[in-house]
C-alpha cells in the first residue's frame, strides 16, 4: 500500500491537500528522506500521515506548505519567503542574539510582525514554532 493510500484511508474524505503533498513526497523518495528534508522525526511524519499526531499540526503544516508546496508569505524584512523559513526566523527571534546584523534585523522584524503576534495569541504565548 502506498503512503498516499494510507494517508487517505486514515484521513478519509477530509484529507487536507498538505497531507496529500506530504504522502506523495514520501512515496516519491522515502519517509526517512522526507523527514530529514522537513527537519522532523520519522515518527512524527508517520503519526501525521496516519492522523494520530496528538499535538497541534500548524507547525508541520507550515513546513510542508513551504518546503514541499512552495507556498510563500510576504515578510516585511526579507520579501517573499517560504513558510518554513518564516517559522524558523520566528523561532530564532524569541531570544535576542547579536550574532550579526541579519539576526538583529530579523529579531526586530519578527517581534513586530502581525503573523507572529497572531500565533502568540492563539497559543497563549507559549506556542511551539518548531
Q: What is the pLDDT of residue 110?
A: 93
Q: What is the pLDDT of residue 55?
A: 92
Of residues 97 and 110, the one with the higher pLDDT is 110
3-state secondary structure of 81: strand
Q: What is the DSSP string of 22-79?
A: HHHHHHHS-HHHHHHHHT--HHHHHHHHTT---S--HHHHHHHHHHTS--EEEETTTE
Q: What domains appear along the chain, each with residue ranges and CATH number?
A: 3-67 (1.10.260), 72-123 (no CATH)
Calculate the average pLDDT of the chain: 89
For residue 111, give the nearest of 126, 91, 130 by alpha carbon. 91
How many residues are recorded in the chain? 130
* Rg of the chain, C-alpha, whole Å: 16
Q: What is the pLDDT of residue 118?
A: 56
3-state secondary structure of 94: coil
pTM: 0.75
- Could you tell me if 40 and 11 are in contact, meaning their C-beta atoms sit under 8 angstroms apart? no
pLDDT tens-digit profile of 26-84? Answer: 999 999 999 999 999 999 999 999 999 999 999 899 899 999 999 999 999 999 999 88
Amino acid at each position: 500500500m502506498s503512503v498516499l493510500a494510507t494517508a487517505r484511508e486514515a484521513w478519509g474524505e477530509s484529507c487536507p491537500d498538505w497531507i496529500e503533498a506530504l504522502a506523495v513526497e514520501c512515496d516519491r523518495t522515502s519517509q526517512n528522506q522526507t523527514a530529514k528534508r522537513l527537519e522532523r522525526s520519522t515518527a512524527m511524519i508517520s503519526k501525521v500521515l496516519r492522523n494520530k499526531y496528538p499535538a497541534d499540526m500548524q507547525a508541520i503544516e507550515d513546513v510542508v506548505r513551504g518546503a514541499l508546496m512552495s507556498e510563500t508569505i510576504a515578510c516585511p524584512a526579507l520579501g517573499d519567503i517560504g513558510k518554513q523559513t518564516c517559522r524558523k526566523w520566528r523561532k530564532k527571534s524569541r531570544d535576542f542574539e547579536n550574532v550579526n546584523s541579519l539576526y538583529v534585523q530579523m529579531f526586530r522584524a519578527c517581534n513586530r510582525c502581525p503573523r507572529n503576534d497572531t500565533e502568540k495569541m492563539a497559543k497563549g504565548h507559549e506556542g511551539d514554532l518548531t
